[in-house]
Amino acid sequence: MPFSRRLYGAISLSLITAGFLILALLVFASLWFSNQIRVHNHQVVLNESAISSANSALALIERTEAARRGFLLRQTEGYARVVDMAQDQIKEPLGKLKNALTTLGLGDLYTTAETLTDRRMAEIDASIQMVRSGDLEGARNAFGQTDGQADLVSLRKTIADIVGQEEAELQGGLDRAANSAQYFFITAVLVVIVMLALAVAFYFLIRRYTAELNSSAAELERLNLGLEDAVQERTADLQHANSEIQRYAYIVSHDLRSPLVNIMGFTSELETGLSDVQAMVAKIEETDPEVVTPEAKVAVQTDWPEAIGFIRKATDKMDRLINAILKLSREGRRVFTPQRLSMTEFVTALADATRHQANEADAEIKIEPLPDIISDRVAIEQIFSNLIDNAVKYLKRNEAGLVKVSAKDLGRNIEFVVRDNGRGIQANDLDRIFDLFRRSGVQDRPGEGIGLAHVRAVVRRLGGTITCESVLGEGTTFRVVLPKVLRHEERERE
């Protein structure tokens, strides 16, 4: 089953959307994982800082203890200075430890450690001051009698606690960071696999679609070729039929002419003879009135001339009709020579030709700006002079006439509109008016009923159409749609 363009669109759109969603997921995951890793790293730094500062604080306290003992034994000022300096030095590791432990949520542990440290440092300081003030004995007594030893032991335990806990946490943090990295890697690999799968799917989709496009293009081309052949065949048939009809019309009209020559010729002969007879009858009437019967007189003077008159009228009309058919069939065989026509000026000139009748009918002919076309000059002249002439000819007598010619661009074609406010055409006559020898409405104007038949034939030959709208008593509008450029095929006909 061929795959519809719509289905292709839906599938490719969903593939692309899936690709984008997965990419977005990857970006989100990488952000999340990197944040995780950052958090873990921060914790690890804090853990390390807590461990190292706890260790250095303990080392400093142990050193201070040792210096105190040394001072009690030897009163060397160097030991006392160590203790003095330690009072300051202890602040740095304690500060770091406080910072790390409060951040890690072990503030209680820190408070314990700080209290114990402060107490130890205060006692040591007190004992140093006692020695300096000369009370060596008091200081020595104080050493060992206070709860100092117990404090030191619990301080060591607290520090060991801190270090132990932090080391465990450090290990956990490192593990978690490693896990995060691993998860991230797995996610990335999965994303890459899915993307590859999508790409492959997309590739096959496009391949299949392209193949189908190619085959349908080939099919289309085949159909097109067939169509062109069919059109050419039809056109040839039509042209053939058309030229057949034209030949037929031509031959018929010629063959009709031949007897007409006889009818008219011998009618003339009769007329010539008749005048002799009339002269003779007149002469006999003078010399021998009884010989001339009234019937003979009427026949010679009234009936025969009348009969001859009717024969002449009929043959004259027949002659005009035959000439019209001849003209139409000849027109159908005329070869068009397309040229650029500036329609505004051209139609104005055609309208000027009917200016005299227009003035007589108190009518105005208004030509709006018209676009140029490339067409056959004679054909266009025949179309517009007939339409304008008709419009002027069938205006209402009791009203100022207005004939308007305008145009509308239809892309490849132009619609020319000839509108009048004349007497209009009955709705059931609208088709008839384009037929040869058919006329509509009151027959008070000369004409054979040829103009519009001719116009329609010419318009069709130019590859256009003509339509008529009319309201009886209000006016008529003729719309002529003509190609902007007379097509090549039309030029080459015959």
Residue 158 CB-density burial (10 A; 0-12 exposed, 13-18 middle, 19+ buried): buried
Q: How many angstroms separate the CA atoms of 328 and 171, rounded?
A: 110
Find the shortest distance in angstroms from Cβ 434 to other proteins.
Answer: 26
φ/ψ (deg, to 5) at 363: -120, 155
- Of the pair 92, 255, the CB lying nearest other proteins is at 255
- Of the pair 261, 410, the CB lying nearest other proteins is at 261
Tell me the β-bridge partners of 470.
476
121: Cβ contacts below 8 Å, ≥ 6 apart: 61, 64, 86, 87, 90
Find the shortest distance in angstroms from Cβ 360 to other proteins.
Answer: 30
Q: Which of 414, 435, 443, 431 is nearest to 470 (CA)?
A: 431
Find the shortest distance in angstroms from Cβ 256 to other proteins.
Answer: 9
Helix locations, 339-434, DSSP H: 343-353, 355-360, 377-393
- Of the pair 316, 345, the CB lying nearest other proteins is at 316
Contact call for residues 472 and 426 (beta carbons, < 8 A): yes
- Of the pair 77, 269, the CB lying nearest other proteins is at 269
Write out the E strands in 150-226: none
- Of the pair 265, 473, the CB lying nearest other proteins is at 265
- Of the pair 156, 312, the CB lying nearest other proteins is at 312
Contact call for residues 163 and 54 (beta carbons, < 8 A): yes
Q: How many angstroms separate the CA atoms of 124 and 148, rounded?
A: 9
The Cα-based distances of 272 to 224, 266, 426 in angstroms read: 70, 9, 47
Per-residue tokens: 82 = 């160590």
Find the shortest distance in angstroms from Cβ 333 to other proteins.
Answer: 9
- Of the pair 188, 311, the CB lying nearest other proteins is at 311
Binding site for other proteins (CB under 8 A): 250, 254-255, 257-262, 264-269, 315, 319, 322, 330
- Of the pair 168, 314, the CB lying nearest other proteins is at 314
Contact call for residues 401 and 395 (beta carbons, < 8 A): yes
Q: Which of 298, 307, 312, 300 is nearest to 268 (CA)?
A: 312
Per-residue tokens: 316 = 């004259």
Contact call for residues 436 and 457 (beta carbons, < 8 A): no
Q: How many angstroms separate the CA atoms of 308 and 315, rounded?
A: 10
- Of the pair 258, 443, the CB lying nearest other proteins is at 258
Q: Which residues of 440-469 are buried (b: 16+ CB within 10 A; e: fewer)?
A: beeeeeeeebbbbbbbbbbbebbbbebebe
**Helix-strand-coil percent breakdown of the chain, rounded to 5?**
75, 10, 15
Find the shortest distance in angstroms from Cβ 325 to other proteins.
Answer: 13
Find the shortest distance in angstroms from Cβ 257 to other proteins.
Answer: 5
- Of the pair 205, 264, the CB lying nearest other proteins is at 264
Find the shortest distance in angstroms from Cβ 262 to other proteins.
Answer: 4
Find the shortest distance in angstroms from Cβ 250 to other proteins.
Answer: 8
Find the shortest distance in angstroms from Cβ 318 to other proteins.
Answer: 9
Radius of gyration of the chain (CA): 61
**Three-state DSSP class for residue 493:** coil
- Of the pair 281, 308, the CB lying nearest other proteins is at 308
- Of the pair 292, 308, the CB lying nearest other proteins is at 308
Find the shortest distance in angstroms from Cβ 246 to other proteins.
Answer: 12
